[in-house]
Amino acid sequence: MSEDRTTNGHTAPGTHLSDATLNDFASGRLDEAARASVLRHAAACPECAGALRDYTALRGALGSLPAPRLRRSFQLSEEQARVKVRRRLPTLASALPALRAATIAVALLLLVVAGVDRLTAPGGKAPSNANFAAMAAPTQTATSVAINSVSDGAANTTPTQASLGETSGAESRSETSQAASAIAPAPASGSLNAGSASEGAAPSNAAAKIALPPEATPASSPSVAPTTAPSPSPTPIATPAVAIAAASSGSDRMGWRVAELGLGLLLLWLLVSYVGAWQSSRSRI
Amino acid sequence: MFRRRSREETPPSPQPSAAGADPELLQGLRLVEAAKRGDLPSFNALVVRHERPVYAVCFRMLRDQMAAEDATQDCFLKAWSSIGSFRGGLFRPWLLRIAANRCYDVIRAKGRRPVDSLDAMPFEIEPEWSSQSRGDEHPEEHAVRRELSRHLEQALAALPDDQRLAVILSDIEGRSYEEIAEIMGAAVGTVKSRLSRARAKLHESLRAQPEQRELLERFGRHYDE
């Protein structure tokens, strides 16, 4: 019975009236030609005749249902007319236009923030901690080369230093010991101890190599104070400056990231609310 | 013996022309215009015109007299506060849309099942004249109709909300498919589909029991006469 085999109300032989045709007939929506065709078919098909009769009777019975009695009138009083409809919290469905506008606005803002973040990133890539370490490493390397070369020079030139130490005398020892107190003592080697009887001689000897005038050292100790090593004093100052610049840049980037994350979460919430409001509005019949 | 209720499936007329229009329809339009200007007596005149069908829809949707009265009152309060948004056309479908949405709000809020309410609180029936039966109706026919109505109300209450509303608006209130589509905010095809499914379920429900099947057949025989 549910198969729709009618065409403009004309039922093909050997088939039955469809539910749609029966409903349209019962609702009075068929034109005269279609109605006549349905009635002709019903005259020849007892099953369809019974269905047609049932659908027509059903609709007639529904139309004959008694109406519920009104116990009172619903006319508005002056007071009711003055009082506005109680403002409840707006339903999701009523907030649909606002949610739509807010979702679009937040999405655009997120695009702008992300775009500005990408465009203003240094080198197209924000310096990370690893990058910061790599930036500071050469400076540290230069510093360690200078220190190591000084200590190496002190060790390598021990025999020559021994001879120099003999000739400099006590005066130079006192001067170099004062200089050695300001500089971290080089690790004392056995040769130094062997070359000097006093305990403070080793650091003072190392300091002596540093404090000695430049013209005395190149000939005797070619490995001392390599000219390729930069002076110690500038490198300690450069390292903190780079660190501060890197830190400030990192904090800016973090701020952009936080903003993007916040906007993304807000957009997600708005999308969920919008979908819920849309579904709510659709479910209202 | 049962007087066939005539249903003129009039096409929808969003903007009925003044020339040749029904005087009552014109009077309704004047009342609407006055109500839009803030005239409360004109609005109350509209309430008197439309409160019965609105209440009937609310009652059959909610199956509870108190809830139906509250929903009907809320419907007219809402209509009064938002009558400025009425853009013309037929007033009753616009009212029924407000009423239907209000009923849906109540149903969603309370999660009520109409079948339970029907068994718990039988409603009062209007006098015979409102049911459009003739005064000379045979007692046996009257008994058949009353008994069939009881089974039909129960079967109607068991339908899903959207299908029940479609049947109420189409077969009980006599609205056209286009008006029902406007009231329900759905396409005409959707309305037809819901109506078809609803009638099929009602038919199946009435045919399930021999007593009810016989009632339907007897009613059909009298209905055709």
User: Looking at residue A195, what is its pLDDT?
Assistant: 41
CB under 8 A, 24+ apart: contacts of A4-10: A8/A33, A8/A34, A9/A33, A9/A34, A9/A35, A9/A37, A9/A38, A10/A34, A10/A37
pLDDT at B178 over 70: yes
Query: Using 50, 70 and 90 to split pLDDT, how confident is the model at A94?
Result: low
Say if CB A106 and CB A267 are below 8 A apart.
yes
- Closest approach of chain A CAs to the CA of B168, in angstroms? 8
How far is Cα B111 from Cα A185, in angstroms, rounded to an integer? 87
State the smallest CA–CA distance between residue A57 and chain B in angstroms.
5
Residue B128 has pLDDT above 80, yes or no: no
Highest mean pLDDT among A75-89, B69-83, B129-143: B69-83
Record: contact A73-B51, CB cut-off 8 A: yes
Produce one character per residue of B182-215: b if its CB has 16 or more CB atoms within 10 Å, e if not. bbbebeeebbbbbbbbbbbbbbebbeeeeebeeb
Q: What is the pLDDT of residue B144?
A: 83
Task: Identify whether the C-beta of residue B220 lies closer than 8 Å to the C-beta of residue A57.
Answer: yes
Kindly report the length of chain A.
285
Tell me the average pLDDT across B39-46. 95
pLDDT in the model for residue B49:
94
Please tell me whether residue B4 adopts helix, strand or coil conformation: coil
Mutate to test the interface with A, among B9, B219, B222 (most CBs of A within 10 A): B219
Distance from CA of B131 to the nearest CA of A (A): 5
Mean pLDDT for B202-219 is: 86
Q: How far apart are CA A263 and CA A178, in angstroms?
A: 62
**Which chain B residues contact residue A67 at CB under 8 A?**
52, 56, 125-126, 130-131
Residues in chain B within 8 Å Cβ distance of A68: 55-56, 59-60, 65, 68, 123-126
pLDDT band at B81 (very low <50, low <70, confident <90, very high): very high
CA A223 and chain centroid, separation: 53
User: Residue A4: pLDDT above 50?
Assistant: no
Which of B73, B162, B167 lies at the smallest CB-CB distance from A62? B167
Mean pLDDT over A279-284 rounds to 61
Contacts of A59 in chain B (CB under 8 A): 171, 199
What B163-166 contacts at long range (C-beta under 8 Å, 24+ apart), as own/partner pairs, is B163/B194, B163/B195, B163/B197, B163/B198, B163/B201, B164/B60, B164/B61, B164/B114, B164/B198, B165/A285, B165/B57, B165/B61, B165/B100, B165/B103, B166/B191, B166/B194, B166/B195, B166/B198
Q: Are A233 and A248 in contact (CB under 8 A)?
A: no
| Res A155: pLDDT | 47
Q: What is the dihedral of CA A11, A17, A21, A26, to 10 degrees?
A: 120
Which residues in B16-54 are b (16+ Cβ under 10 Å) and which e?
beeeeeeeeeeebbebbebbeeeebebbbbbbebbbbbb
Report, as an integer, the average pLDDT of A190-202: 42
Q: Quick one: pLDDT band at residue B23, thresholds 50, 70, 90?
A: confident
What number of other Cβ atoms are within 10 A of residue B128's Cβ? 13
pLDDT band at A229 (very low <50, low <70, confident <90, very high): very low
**Residue B152 is nearest to which of A65, A80, A85, comparing CB atoms?**
A65
- Put simply, the answer to whether B196 touches A19 (Cβ < 8 Å) is yes
Work out how many CB contacts closer than 8 A connect A with B.
157
Say whether residue A59 is in contact with chain B using an 8 A CB cutoff: yes
Q: Phi/psi at A69 (nearest 5 deg)? A: -75, 140
Please answer yes or no on whether B43 and A76 come within 8 Å at the CB atom.
yes
Please check the confidence at residue A114 and state whether its pLDDT lies above 80.
yes
Of B80, B170, B192, which has the smallest distance from its Cβ to A76's Cβ? B80
The answer to whether B46 touches B35, Cβ cutoff 8 Å, is yes
Per the listing, tokens 């539910």 go with A19
- pLDDT, tens digit, 9 for 90 and up, residues B162-176: 999 999 999 999 999
CB contact, 8 Å: A29 with chain B? yes
Q: Which of A56, A66, A81 sits opposite B125 (nearest CB)?
A: A66
- Could you please report the per-residue DSSP string of B27-57? HHHHHHHHHHTT-HHHHHHHHHHHHHHHHHH
A112 pLDDT higher than 70: yes
Residue A239 has what pLDDT?
65
Distance from CA of B101 to the nearest CA of A (A): 6
pLDDT greater than 90 at residue B118: no
pLDDT digits (tens, 9 = 90+) for A198-211: 444 444 444 444 44
H-run or E-run covering A7: strand A6-7
d(CA A108, nearest CA chain B) in Å: 32
Question: What is the percentage of chain A residues whose pLDDT exceeds 90?
Answer: 12
Which of A56, A66, A69 lies at the smallest CB-CB distance from B223? A56
Segment A7-25 shows an average pLDDT of 72
Contact A148, A228 (CB under 8 A): no
A134-151 tens-digit pLDDT? 554 555 554 555 455 545
pLDDT of the residue at B207:
86
- Name the pLDDT band for B127 (thresholds 50, 70, 90): very low
